[in-house]
């Protein structure tokens, strides 16, 4: 159900800040929706379509509101293209980015997330990656997405294969990581969101990564 306050607040913020406010919407995951919040997890595509329809009712005729969708699969990406300003995929490869760009078309935003760690030691980098990804690997929506992206069940077992970890968390020196980030842009991304991966509490490492890679 769409609360009237959300679209009104979103449109107001967008007007106040010069069309710079964007609201991201996603269907979340069964453990969060049912286990934590105590809600019923509806069919994702139908639920998002209905929610966007309600949101769009508040928009000026012929315009889409400042909303993007956390889309992974082709049907949700197509819905994002039809009823929002674009998509914000998470835990994806440049190959997925290319597929998403083809579905969305050239006029839509495609802002992909990419985890990074400025660590040149393979064992240390992959250990950080496995720890970071462990929270996502128990969620069916991400696992299904990774399988569609070409990873096997075996590659998702036991913390993830090296190939899987290396795809999800770019590591190495700054130049190596920049090449991986630019692969998303070459595939059609309009924006790439950096998520630094570092030891718990090491905010200096986080800040140094963002500073080193911000000009990618």
76 close to 45: Cβ distance less than 8 angstroms: yes
Q: Say which DSSP state 157 is in.
A: S
Average pLDDT over residues 53-67: 80
Spatial distance between the Cα atoms of 132 and 24, rounded to a whole number of angstroms: 22
Q: C-alpha dihedral over 56, 48, 144, 166, to 10 degrees?
A: 40
The label of the residue with tokens 């929506």 reads 141
What pLDDT is stored for residue 35 in this prediction? 64
Structural domain spans, the chain: 5-213
What pLDDT is stored for residue 63 in this prediction? 76
- For the chain, percent of residues with pLDDT exceeding 70: 93
Q: What are phi and psi of 40, to 5 degrees?
A: -90, 130
| Residue 184 token pair | 């998303």
Domain covering 5-213: architecture: Alpha-Beta Barrel (3.20)
pLDDT in tens, 121-140: 999 999 999 999 999 999 99
pLDDT in tens, 20-40: 888 899 887 666 655 667 777
pTM assigned to the model: 0.91
Q: Say which DSSP state 17 is in.
A: T
pLDDT in tens, 73-107: 999 999 999 999 999 999 999 999 999 999 999 99
Q: Say which DSSP state 27 is in.
A: -
pLDDT in tens, 164-193: 999 999 999 999 999 999 999 999 999 999
Q: Say which DSSP state 43 is in.
A: -
């Amino acid at each position: 159900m769409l609360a009237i306050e959300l679209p009104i607040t979103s449109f107001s913020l967008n007007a106040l800040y010069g069309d710079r406010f964007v609201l991201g919407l996603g269907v979340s995951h069964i453990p969060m929706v049912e286990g934590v919040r105590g809600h019923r997890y509806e069919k994702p595509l139908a639920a998002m379509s209905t929610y966007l329809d309600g949101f769009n009712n508040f928009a000026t005729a012929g315009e889409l509101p400042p909303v993007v969708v956390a889309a992974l699969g082709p049907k949700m990406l197509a819905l994002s293209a039809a009823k929002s300003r674009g998509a914000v995929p998470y835990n994806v490869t440049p190959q997925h980015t290319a597929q998403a760009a083809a579905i969305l078309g050239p006029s839509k935003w495609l802002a992909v997330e990419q985890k990074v760690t400025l660590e040149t030691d393979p064992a240390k980098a992959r250990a950080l990656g496995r720890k970071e990804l462990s929270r996502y690997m128990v969620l069916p929506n991400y696992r299904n997405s990774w399988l569609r992206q070409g990873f096997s069940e075996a590659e998702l077992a036991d913390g993830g294969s090296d190939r899987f970890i290396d795809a999800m968390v770019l590591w190495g020196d700054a130049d190596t990581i920049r090449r991986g980030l630019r692969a998303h842009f070459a595939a059609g991304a309009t924006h790439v969101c950096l998520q630094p991966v570092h030891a718990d509490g090491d905010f200096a490492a986080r800040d140094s990564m963002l500073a080193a890679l911000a000009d990618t």
